[in-house]
Homo-oligomer: A and B are copies of this chain.
Amino acid sequence: MSLFIGLDLGGTNLKYALGTATGEILVKLSKPSLASQSQETIFANMFAAVDELVAEANRRGETVKAIGAGSPGVIDFENGHLIGNAPNLPSWTDAPIKKNFQQHFNIPTWVDNDANLMAFAEARKGAGQNYRTILCITLGTGIGGGLIINNEIYRGSHFSAAEVGHIIIEFGGRPCNCGNQGCLEAYTAAPAMIDRYRRKLKRYGVLFKIDELTTEIIFQKAEMNEDLAKATIMETCDYLGAGIASIVHIMDPEIVIIGGGIAEAGPEFINRIELVAKNNALKSITEKVKVVKANLNKEAGVIGAIMLASENCRK
């Protein structure tokens, strides 16, 4: 049986896994991605991860048939390289991922945007099974998105589709990290949630330094029924619902899958997102669309990378 390697490069960690053609994970590992170091060092770190998994495959008497890799940033899927910069990976600009991997290993390699691969994993092995047109949104430090149209990853004309974090939900609104104003990310990503929670606490005389607060703390407090934390998350759900309403008007998907912290925080928040999305969209569209929680979460990136490799091998 041929095996497949999936890599998921992030701003903090590199996740890597060995799996089967159908996306069953056999071995799953993680190590720092060395994001602040040189492009050569990041590649060497990834190559060492692949070496580890190839050795593991051989130990099992198997070979590695193909490699899939997910990276932040805009990825030219045809050529497998980064276009321009990637957030949190300063040296990664224009990284020729596919070319370097294939030269180094002589194993066919496919590369895609990390959020695309999460959506792909959910479509093939997660909450999106049995659906052909899927919108996937992942909440974290930034907002990631992926679109599956007619069972395939939709990449757009310049490999830039599904940049859901940068749709505008408030014209002329809050400044976003991207340099624009009013983006969904500026209202719903972790820094925005933390900022809103801190302001609420301040009104009650509770002072927190920003770097002491995390979304995990907010989710924990909400679980303990702390009103300000719950209100902070609910507001995030409202903005997210409005953003989803916009996207649903354009794409008309069968299902919307939410991953990341909010999805883990409990069904009441997913229900709120669905309610707001439906309340902000034409009835003809939303009466049939479902909003659900992602199934695979932290494994989604490597599963998507493995499925990308195995399906492209067969083409």
Contact = CB atoms under 8 A, between A and B. Distances in A.
Interface of A: 74, 83-84, 132-133, 147, 149, 154-164, 166-171, 178, 180-182, 187, 238-239, 242-243, 245-247, 249-254, 279-285, 288-289
7 contacts: A158-B252, A161-B251, A163-B249, A168-B246, A171-B239, A178-B282, A180-B280
Given A74-B284, A170-B171, A149 B147 contact: no
Contacts of A74: 284
Number of copies: 2
B284 A164 contact: no
B254 A166 contact: no
A310 to B, nearest CB: 24
Contact of A249 (B154, B164, B254): B164
Contacts of A285: 156, 158, 160, 163
Given A163-B285, A281-B166, A252 B171 contact: no
Contact of A180 (B155, B247, B251, B279): B279
Contact of A84 (B158, B164, B279, B284): B284
A149 B169 CA distance: 25
Given A162-B249, A162-B250, A251-B251, 12 more contacts: A84-B284, A132-B157, A157-B289, A158-B288, A160-B284, A161-B250, A161-B251, A164-B250, A167-B246, A167-B250, A168-B243, A180-B279
A182 B239 CA distance: 12
4 shortest interchain CB distances as A-B pairs: A156-B252, A167-B246, A161-B252, A160-B285
